[in-house]
């Protein structure tokens, strides 16, 4: 689906004179031409044409997305950045996996008919070419339309040069001149800008014809001229500003150089601005992805050249001249050619460093406020606000990396991670890459800023199941913390505790998480404390012991509800249903509905997975098998990875064993496969069906001393999710021997189910952690 914001940013001028070209391009797509590159100069309308093509042909595709690359900086990992931009454009909202973005794309698109519009590829040709050729090779139903000033030079690429719209011939009669596309477009846009209707004869129309010729047929230039007319300048006055028309005369005998024409048009627009408007135009160019009035005032105002109180009036003037565009929600943007022009003037004014620093400071304060304040009723608003500013955040981080302000950049990205944006909006790969790039840009001396950044990086990688990289950055965090004597700092305890419980399944991480929670709260970091409390609740709820699971989950939920934080509350409620609690509550219906409404595909996937565990215990083995298969489909569609998290892997194995024991291997596999074919909505509907669940009773009064050494080893392997044949292979004994051991264990513990044994064993082995807390 093409998002409205993308259409608004592309469709700023009327589409005149492109009908035949659009029909031809649509025909190429119907004929299975899989790679089309639209080339041509800046301002010729490549983006508008590509987006309109996607609109008109979208019904023939399962998926259509527009990928804007103009603000993406070339880097050593540019191909991954391009692939991640495509992931984001496709709306894959939760990339909880250590897999490269390109692999996620291949899996997501493999069975679909998809159309990607890759816009502004000229500064990333090699990276775009690498990504596109891989996708075209691996995704048979994919078509790509790229816009670039240069071709990609790939086999099978169909090059379409987008021509300027037609301009009037020299000495054309008024009737004939009026049929030219440039004149039609200029008159239409001038009327829309508020200029009175112009008769098709007389000197005013003659000036319009000359301006249309001077434009070279570039729609962006025509748009700028129309804006000047809308601001009150007559066509003859605009001609006079074009050096008395001599620029036109000098090029009348030949086709105009389009890049020169665009620059000249921008020069005229620049000259029409007051000195204060010019300076503001240049300063606003530092914003990437748009800005609001308050941001413009903070970053661009406050000195003798542009006072803070002047910014609103100056912005309105720039809007009237089409230098700045305003969307219905009050947000402002600049087209890329105008931004590039403004940045050149900003550099010429000698203000680049100062304004970039001011922009970086604004970003720094925004994300710091979000990290400190998200835990409350405005949680979803903070998430949306920070996500909306991700292009500006990226621009600030890039500036920090290039200007030597590495610690400022690290602080910015750490605060972005503290808001949980990476998990809610599938930005893990992006934010992790930012920190890694910053660390490479400036090694620097040990500091608590770097410790916090390493902790955030290690936590995120661990949470998405990337154990090796998570361990690497956890180790780096611990080493730097020791140098600073900060081993007990809450971020350090947080990453170490998370690594232990999620990557190792080790309950020794529980007291570390509890200390991290208390340390964050003592420092006034309520949101961070809630996240540590959540991981503590999840870990204890999956690993035991029951008393910690009960206390942590109850406290986590009470805190979230007290703060009226909706997403946090849904997660805290989720922990109430985990199996190691003394009396797990079936609350998954209460969690799933708000998660779906909020767009939390990470949480909804976890909830469906837990729902399958519950049904496997509740005498609904077929439904449980279908949900397990359905959850696999959700993970693939949503990019959520659970397989790398040890506690989750154990619970899934136990659920599968219960299902197989009830209905047999063949029936389980058939139901599982059926579940993988369900749509997202069908999976949710299945998960929301009523379920009757009885609590699993265990024997906390019987300790491990009741078992022999051999029986203890068997119990441990059952808790790890191994089947009887796997246990036999692990212990180098026969399968019958394993069955004999299990029979004796069940008799001693008065149990008859493997799930009961696994829960009991987990609680028993967690006793040291229980005493430590």
pLDDT digits (tens, 9 = 90+) for 138-169: 999 999 999 988 889 898 999 998 888 888 88
Helices 665-676 and 646-663 cross at an angle (nearest 10°) of 120
274 or 693: which leads in pLDDT: 274
Same-fold call for 275-350 versus 369-516+526-532: no
**pLDDT at res. 93:** 56
- Percent of the chain at pLDDT > 70 equals 91
Q: Does residue 319 carry a pLDDT above 60?
A: yes
489 or 658: which leads in pLDDT: 489
Arithmetic mean of pLDDT, 417-434: 87
Q: Does residue 425 carry a pLDDT above 60?
A: yes
Arithmetic mean of pLDDT, 6-26: 69
Q: Does residue 590 carry a pLDDT above 80?
A: yes
Arithmetic mean of pLDDT, 67-81: 82
In three-state form (DSSP H/G/I as H, E/B as E, the rest C), the secondary structure along 723-761 is CHHHHHHHHCCCHHHHHHHHHHHHHHHCCCCHHHHHHHH
481 or 14: which leads in pLDDT: 481
How far separated are the first and last CA of the chain, in Å rounded?
A: 50
Residue 452 to residue 467: CA distance in whole angstroms: 19
Whether the Cβ atoms of residue 196 and residue 205 lie closer than 8 Å to each other? no
Whether the Cβ atoms of residue 610 and residue 574 lie closer than 8 Å to each other? yes
Q: Does residue 265 carry a pLDDT above 80?
A: no
**pLDDT at res. 76:** 60
Q: Does residue 772 carry a pLDDT above 50?
A: no
Query: CB under 8 Å, gap of 24 or more: what pairs does 177-185 form?
Result: 177/209, 177/212, 180/212, 181/16, 181/17, 181/217, 182/212, 182/213, 182/215, 182/217, 182/222, 183/208, 183/209, 183/212, 184/16, 184/17, 185/13, 185/14, 185/16, 185/17, 185/219, 185/222
**pLDDT at res. 289:** 84
Arithmetic mean of pLDDT, 269-278: 89
**pLDDT at res. 242:** 66
Arithmetic mean of pLDDT, 233-241: 84
**pLDDT at res. 599:** 80
Q: What are the domain boundaries of the chain? A: 4-161, 174-272, 275-350, 369-516+526-532, 586-687, 704-772
36 or 268: which leads in pLDDT: 36
DSSP symbol at 503: I
Residue 625 to residue 388: CA distance in whole angstroms: 39
Going by pLDDT thresholds of 50, 70 and 90, the confidence category of residue 171 is confident
Q: Which CATH architecture has domain 4-161?
A: 3-Layer(aba) Sandwich (3.40)
Residue 678 to residue 461: CA distance in whole angstroms: 29
- Percent of the chain at pLDDT > 90 equals 53
Phi/psi of residue 150, nearest 5 degrees: -135, 145
Going by pLDDT thresholds of 50, 70 and 90, the confidence category of residue 594 is confident
Residue 681 to residue 698: CA distance in whole angstroms: 36
Residue 238 to residue 229: CA distance in whole angstroms: 8
Arithmetic mean of pLDDT, 488-500: 98
**pLDDT at res. 593:** 87
* 3-class secondary-structure state, position 115: strand
**pLDDT at res. 696:** 44
**pLDDT at res. 756:** 72
Q: Does residue 11 carry a pLDDT above 70?
A: no
Q: What is the average pLDDT value for the chain, to the nearest integer?
A: 86
Provide the β-strand partners of residue 35: 144
Fold that domain 704-772 belongs to in CATH: Arc Repressor Mutant, subunit A (1.10.10)
Length of the chain: 773
Q: What are the pLDDT digits (tens) for 673-725?
A: 999 999 989 999 999 888 765 544 445 557 788 889 999 999 999 888 888 88
Provide the β-strand partners of residue 640: 96
Q: Which has the minimum average pLDDT: 131-135, 271-275, 474-478, 491-495? A: 271-275
Q: Which has the minimum average pLDDT: 184-198, 261-275, 343-357? A: 261-275
Provide the β-strand partners of residue 291: 332
Q: Does residue 591 carry a pLDDT above 60?
A: yes
Bond into 690 cis (ω within 30): no
Give the torsion sign (CA, 352, 353, 358, 361). Answer: positive
CATH no., domain 275-350 = 1.10.10.10
**pLDDT at res. 246:** 41
- CATH number assigned to the domain with residue range 369-516+526-532, chosen from the 4 options 1.10.10, 1.10.3470, 1.10.260, 1.25.40: 1.25.40
Q: Does residue 434 carry a pLDDT above 60?
A: yes
* 3-class secondary-structure state, position 291: strand
Strands 35-39 and 63-68 turn out to be unpaired
Quickly list DSSP for 396-431. Answer: HHHHHHHHT-HHHHHHHHHHHHHTTHHHHTT-HHHH
**pLDDT at res. 98:** 60
Q: What are the pLDDT digits (tens) for 201-226?
A: 788 899 999 898 888 788 888 888 88
Residue 346 to residue 350: CA distance in whole angstroms: 6
DSSP symbol at 582: S
**pLDDT at res. 639:** 60
Using alpha carbons, select from 592, 561, 594 the residue that is nearest to residue 577. 592
Arithmetic mean of pLDDT, 61-87: 86
What is the token pair recorded at 361? 């400071």
Q: What are the pLDDT digits (tens) for 466-479?
A: 889 999 999 999 99
767 or 489: which leads in pLDDT: 489
508 or 41: which leads in pLDDT: 508
**pLDDT at res. 351:** 97
What is the CB neighbour count within 10 angstroms for residue 134?
A: 16
Using alpha carbons, select from 479, 439, 481, 445 the residue that is nearest to residue 457. 439
43 sits in the region (left: phi over 0; alpha: psi -120 to 50; else beta) called left
**pLDDT at res. 340:** 82
**pLDDT at res. 248:** 41
Going by pLDDT thresholds of 50, 70 and 90, the confidence category of residue 512 is very high
**pLDDT at res. 122:** 86
CA distances from 638 to 387, 447, 525, 591, 599 (A): 18, 36, 30, 18, 11
318 sits in the region (left: phi over 0; alpha: psi -120 to 50; else beta) called alpha
**pLDDT at res. 339:** 86
Q: Which has the minimum average pLDDT: 145-159, 252-266, 274-288, 455-469? A: 252-266
Going by pLDDT thresholds of 50, 70 and 90, the confidence category of residue 255 is very low
**pLDDT at res. 117:** 96
């Amino acid at each position: 689906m093409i998002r409205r914001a993308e259409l608004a940013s592309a469709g700023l001028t009327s589409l005149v004179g492109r009908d035949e070209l659009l029909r031809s391009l649509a025909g190429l797509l119907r004929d299975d031409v899989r790679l089309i590159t639209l080339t041509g100069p800046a301002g010729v309308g490549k983006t508008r044409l590509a987006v309109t093509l996607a609109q008109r042909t979208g019904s023939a595709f399962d998926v259509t997305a527009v990928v804007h690359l103009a603000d993406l900086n070339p880097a050593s990992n540019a191909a991954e950045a391009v692939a991640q931009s495509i992931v984001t454009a496709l709306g894959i909202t939760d990339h909880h996996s250590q897999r490269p973005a390109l692999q996620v794309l291949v899996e997501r698109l493999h069975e679909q008919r998809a159309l990607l519009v890759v816009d502004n590829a000229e500064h990333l040709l090699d990276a775009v070419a690498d990504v596109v050729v891989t996708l075209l090779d691996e995704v048979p139903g994919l078509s790509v339309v790229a816009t670039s000033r240069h071709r990609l030079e790939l086999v099978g690429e169909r090059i379409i040069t987008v021509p300027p719209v037609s301009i009037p011939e020299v000495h054309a009669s008024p009737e004939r001149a009026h049929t030219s596309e440039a004149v039609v477009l200029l008159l239409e846009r001038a009327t829309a800008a508020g200029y009175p209707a112009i008769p098709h004869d007389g000197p005013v129309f003659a000036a319009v014809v000359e301006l249309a010729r001077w434009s070279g047929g570039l729609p962006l230039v025509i748009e700028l001229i129309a804006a000047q007319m809308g601001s009150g300048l007559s066509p003859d006055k605009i001609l006079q500003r074009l050096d008395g028309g001599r620029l036109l005369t000098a090029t009348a005998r030949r086709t105009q150089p389009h890049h020169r024409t665009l620059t000249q048009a921008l020069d005229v627009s620049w000259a029409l601005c007051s000195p204060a408007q010019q300076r503001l135009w240049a300063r606003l160019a530092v914003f990437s992805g748009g800005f609001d009035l308050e941001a413009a005032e903070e970053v661009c105002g406050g000195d003798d050249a542009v006072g803070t109180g002047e910014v609103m009036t100056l912005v309105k003037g720039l809007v009237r001249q089409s230098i700045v565009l305003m969307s219905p929600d009050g947000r402002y943007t600049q087209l890329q050619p105008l931004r590039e022009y403004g940045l050149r003037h900003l550099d010429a004014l000698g203000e680049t460093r100062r304004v970039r620093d001011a922009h970086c400071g604004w970003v720094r304060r925004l994300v710091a406020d979000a990290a400190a304040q998200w835990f409350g009723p405005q949680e979803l608003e903070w998430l949306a606000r920070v996500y909306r500013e991700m292009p500006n955040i990226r621009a600030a981080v890039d500036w920090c990396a290039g200007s030597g302000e590495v610690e400022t950049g690290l602080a910015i990205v750490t605060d972005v991670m503290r808001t949980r944006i990476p998990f809610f909006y599938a930005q893990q790969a992006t934010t992790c890459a930012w920190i890694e790039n910053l660390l490479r840009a400036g090694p620097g001396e040990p500091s608590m800023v770097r410790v916090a950044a390493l902790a955030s990086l290690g936590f995120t990688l661990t949470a998405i199941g990337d154990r090796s990289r998570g361990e690497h950055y956890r180790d780096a965090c611990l080493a730097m913390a020791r140098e600073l004597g900060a081993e007990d700092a809450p971020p350090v305890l947080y990453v170490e505790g998370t690594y232990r419980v999620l990557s190792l399944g080790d309950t020794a991480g529980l007291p570390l998480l509890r200390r991290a929670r208390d340390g964050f709260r003592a420092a006034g970091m309520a949101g961070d404390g809630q996240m540590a409390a959540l991981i503590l609740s999840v870990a204890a709820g999956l690993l035991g012991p029951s008393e910690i699971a009960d206390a942590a989950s109850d406290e986590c939920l009470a805190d979230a509800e007290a703060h009226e934080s909706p997403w946090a509350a849904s997660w805290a409620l989720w922990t109430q249903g985990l199996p190691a609690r003394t009396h797990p509550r079936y609350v998954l219906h209460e969690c799933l509905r708000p998660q779906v409404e909020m767009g939390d595909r990470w949480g909804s996937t976890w909830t469906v997975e837990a729902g399958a565990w519950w049904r496997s215990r509740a005498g609904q083995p077929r439904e449980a098998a279908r949900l397990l298969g359905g959850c696999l489909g959700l993970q693939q569609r949503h990019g959520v990875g659970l397989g790398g998290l040890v506690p989750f892997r154990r619970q899934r194995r136990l659920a599968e064993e219960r299902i197989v024991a009830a209905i047999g291997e063949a029936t389980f596999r058939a139901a599982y496969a059926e579940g993988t074919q369900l749509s997202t909505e069908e999976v949710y509907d299945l998960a929301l069906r009523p379920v009757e669940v009885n609590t699993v009773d265990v024997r906390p009064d019987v300790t491990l001393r009741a078992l022999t050494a051999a029986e203890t080893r068997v119990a441990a392997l059952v808790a790890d999710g191994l089947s009887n044949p796997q246990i036999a292979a692990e212990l180098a004994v026969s399968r019958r021997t394993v069955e004999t051991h299990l029979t004796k264990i069940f008799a001693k513990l008065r149990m008859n189910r493997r799930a009961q044994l696994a829960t009991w064993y987990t609680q028993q082995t967690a006793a040291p952690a229980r005493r430590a807390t």
